[in-house]
Every structure is written in structure tokens, then in C-alpha cells.
Amino acid sequence: VNNGHKHILLFFPGYPWQELAYSQTYVADNNNLMVYSYPLSKVVIDYGFLYLVYLVAAYAYFSKVHETKQKGIELANAISNATKDELTGLSNRKVFREEVLKRRLRSAPYSVIAIDGDRLKRINDKYGHHVGDEVLVIVANAMRKVFRSSDYLVRTRGDEFVAILPDCNFGNANALAKKLQNLVQDNPLKKMGVEASVSTGIAIAEENESLQDVIMR
């Protein structure tokens, strides 16, 4: 009481740093003044466990998100690896079963270039299989340089390859086949006397013709 006026202080004893508090003043009437003081340390002490729970939950959530993302990447890599040829990095025959490829070929006309490595058995016998493998890699790299990134480049078996070219007519396919042949012949192994070359065949898909039939033709 001060000069007949009552100052009533509401506070929470037992908490440190009382000076760091949220304060609110209420005027009841001309003679009564109420001050409400809520120390910030009370929030930390009384509800600290909630922050801990929140941090644990947030950590668990983001860990799960990261784990799910990693599994998605691993699954995508596994699917990609399942359709990739280990030696050349081109697609393997499994790509023929993919729905994406089937839909793409149904929606537009396409050309197929069958590519066959020449004299690979002779190269293997004379220089060794490691040189033969290098020839296959040279063919694959030449295919990547010649054809579009949207084309499907496949190693079907041994020294046999296929290039599937959507929206490509016979004239363009023929020009690309010749460019590929020239690029394969002009390779670093030529200086060693290794004659790497490919033979090619071209077919244009007809209406309602399956991919396998086009490749065989």
C-alpha cells in the first residue's frame, strides 16, 4: 500500500531471472493497480520437454524423408541398372519391355538401324578379348555421338546393336548410319592396326508392325 493506493503484484516465485519476464499492468480502479509478471524462465523450465519432443519428432520426420528419398534414388538406380549394359552403358534388351518405349513407338513413326560389329572374333583371337571389349565401347560411344539423346540405343547381344529412332525417315536414318560407320572406322585403335568397323541395316516401321519384326526385317 502506498499513499492509500494498493499495488498488487502477481508473480511466480522460485523461477530464476525474474527480471526477464512478460509483464502486464491492469488498473482495477483508482485505488487498485495489478501487475502480472510471467518469467520467461518458467516457459523454458515448465515446457522444455515439449521442445525436446518437438526436436525428436522433427529429427525423426526429416530422417524418414531423407531415408525415403535415398530409397527412391536407389530404386531408380536399380531400375536403370537393370536395363543398362554393363560394358557399354547402352540399354540392354530389357528396355524392349518398358511401357514408356512401347507408348513412344505407338505414338509416332520410327526407324530402326541394326548395327553389327565386323570381325570381332578375329580381333579377339588376334589381340585379346580386352581389345575386343574396347571395340564394343568405341561403337557405343560413336552411337552416342551420332544419335540424339531421345533415341534408344541398345546392345542386343555380343557385337550386335540397335538404334531406335522415333520421328526419323529413311533418308535421315541412312545418313546417320553412314556417319556412324565413318566414326567407328576413324578411332584410336586404328593406329595399332586394329580395323574396327560396323555393318548397318535400316528398316522403317510399318503400321501395326511390332518392334521385333522391324528389327528382324
For residues 68 and 42, what is the distance between their CA atoms, to the nearest angstrom? 39
Q: Write phi, then psi, for 196 (nearest 5 degrees).
A: -90, 130
159 catalytic residue (yes or no): yes
- Partnered with residue 113 across adjacent β-strands are 163, 202
Amino acid, single-letter form, for residue 20? L
Contact 168, 105 (CB under 8 A): no
Please identify which of the residues 118, 159, 167, 186 carries the catalytic annotation: 159
Give one DSSP letter per residue of 49-90, joined into a string. Answer: HHHHHHHHHHHHHHHHHHHHHHHHHHHHHHHHHHTB-TTT-S
How far apart are the C-alpha atoms of 115 and 195, rounded to whole Å?
Answer: 16
Do the beta carbons of residue 177 and residue 161 sit within 8 Å?
no
Q: Active-site residue numbers?
A: 159
